[in-house]
Chains A and B, each alone.
Chain A
Amino acid sequence: MTSPIDVPDVSCYRRPSREELTLVNRSFDRWNVFGRTNRYVVLVADINGSSRRAVSLASQELADNIGGVKPYLAGLVVGELSRKKFFPTMAGADLFCRLSEARGKYYVEINYEAEKLATYGRDVFGTSVVRASTELKENEIVILINSRHEAVAIGITRYAGDMLRRSQMATITTTIDVGQYLRDEDS
């Protein structure tokens, strides 16, 4: 997976196909935001030279008015579709976190120490996990949230269930974090 905050080199933004919309809605359901993004319109854009597609949320007026303008970027890129999987971007994680009241299974709360480390791209240790669903399996994508329920990073679980909190080792691999905006911008 490329860094999802990279600006995708896209051909053009368009409305999603039925299949794409189904995939996006299913993903929104996973993050507990299905039905909560209704003020926005889903747009997708083919990422040049690959089968990946950027998924963007745009205001209705923006979606209606980008015809004739070749956008470099349109709306808020909340994720990427690759094959049949949806990978959230950091901006997507942030929005899902703010829209989702129930949060749910795929949101993992970490302590302040881990939050600071995660914003430098460091992995999360079991002892730093404050709250995690025991239903989580290995290799699941999760949004890491702080005590204020703000998305600070996206990670992949290395362990399942209770082991996520119990292990003295790194139990979640951080793949993207909010600090990456600054690190990428500097590069």
Chain B
Amino acid sequence: MACQGLAGEKFLKTVLFPETHDGEMLAAEFGYDPWLVERFLHYVPRPVDFLKKMDSAHSRYLRVNTLKTSSEALERRLTDKGFKLGRTALADVFSVQAGSISPGATTEYMLGLYYLQDLSSCIAVEALDVSKESCKAALDIAAAPGGKTSYIAQKMNNSGYIIALEPNSRRARSMAFNLARLGVANTCVTLLDGLAAGKLGRVFDRVLLDAPCSCEGVIAKDPSRKTSHTPGDVDYCSALQQKLIESAVSAVKPGGLLVYSTCSFAPEENEAVVQHAIDSCDFLKVEPFELGSEGLLEFGGHKFSKSLQGTRRFYPHIDDTTGFFIARLRHTGS
């Protein structure tokens, strides 16, 4: 079933707000361009806490590779090595609270017993509701470096099949290293752009589109973005994301799930893109899930459907993750 009227031409242009005294003060204090802070003031809960958290050390997480070990066994091994691990909302994911060496330099890491991955990124796969039974075929769009792909593979227990699209050969090579280290055997990496998803000539039980984005959510890891990021970046990304979601929708099997995610806070890259998809495809429904904060219903005078409350936002100061957005969309057609 095709969507009616997905044109891919109209997208929500970056909303800018008049400068305020509060916005200017906070922008100066935390070193941001004012336009960005003014936007945060309009939709981020407790913006001062948020800006403080963005300047503090971010939490590190590791995902247990259950293709090779169990959570209990890995926890014991790393604890014996002096690591202090904390539990998270996901059984396969630990926070790394302390360690005598970098978690990326242990033998266990080299052996592929775990993968370093932010909790929010793991939650995107959790939202995909993958199991050996529910998912025989999955598509991962813009898949490098392979963290989410390998998590899907372990949830499928290396059965079924995954097609991972990554147009950049250098990134695909790095992804291949990761998949090899993690022992993934059910995945095919192909050098295709996400826009070609509909041309694969098949549909999938599960489709993951972790879309290329302006990366506002990782400012904590890359503070240069506080001033290098421009409204034009958001415009460029939201236009591309709209085309990618159209492509992704065309690859979902009736009854199947599409998860759309970004590591941006910008509503133009998140709720607006999802709104565009559900407006254009009446068979596409937002399916709520636990964790995170509700999606926005309004931004800068633009109203979104009530169902978008079921999308999820992740904020560093609330969820202790990088900034992230996740929407779970069900293909309800027959």
Please give the residue numbers on chain A whose beta carbons come within 8 Å of chain B beta carbons, in ascending order. Answer: 5, 7, 39-40, 57-59, 61-62, 64-66, 68-77, 89-91, 94-95, 98, 115-116, 119, 146, 150, 152, 178-179, 181-182, 184-185
Contact = CB atoms under 8 A, between A and B. Distances in A.
A61 B186 contact: yes
B34 interface: no
Interface of B: 68, 104, 107, 110-112, 136-137, 158-163, 166, 169, 172-174, 176-177, 179-181, 183-191, 200-202
A72 B181 CA distance: 17
Given A71-B188, A72-B172, 8 more contacts: A40-B185, A61-B160, A72-B176, A73-B187, A119-B107, A152-B107, A152-B111, A181-B181
B182 to A, nearest CB: 9
A185 B111 contact: no
A101 B177 CA distance: 26
B161 A65 contact: yes
Nearest to A75: B185
B185 A178 contact: no
- Nearest first, the 9 A-B pairs at minimum CB distance are A178-B110, A62-B161, A59-B186, A76-B185, A91-B180, A61-B161, A73-B189, A7-B176, A71-B188
A24 to B, nearest CB: 15
A62 to B, nearest CB: 4
Nearest to A7: B176
Contacts of A62: 160-162, 185-188
B137 A61 contact: yes
A89 B177 CA distance: 12
B174 A57 contact: no
Contact of A69 (B169, B173, B200): B200
Given A61-B159, A62-B161, A70 B190 contact: yes
Contact of B183 (A61, A69, A70, A91): A91
Given A5-B177, A65-B137, A150 B200 contact: no
B111 A178 contact: yes
A101 B163 CA distance: 32
B179 A73 contact: yes
A26 B176 CA distance: 27
B190 A72 contact: yes
A184 B177 CA distance: 9
A150 B111 contact: yes
Contact of B107 (A68, A98, A115, A185): A115
B172 A73 contact: yes
Nearest to A57: B185
20 contacts: A39-B159, A58-B185, A58-B186, A61-B136, A62-B186, A65-B202, A69-B190, A72-B166, A72-B176, A72-B189, A72-B191, A73-B187, A74-B189, A76-B183, A119-B110, A152-B111, A178-B107, A181-B180, A182-B110, A185-B174
Contacts of A91: 180-181, 183
Contacts of B166: 72
Contacts of A69: 163, 188, 190, 200
Nearest to A76: B185
B283 to A, nearest CB: 25
A69 to B, nearest CB: 5
Contacts of B176: 7, 72-73
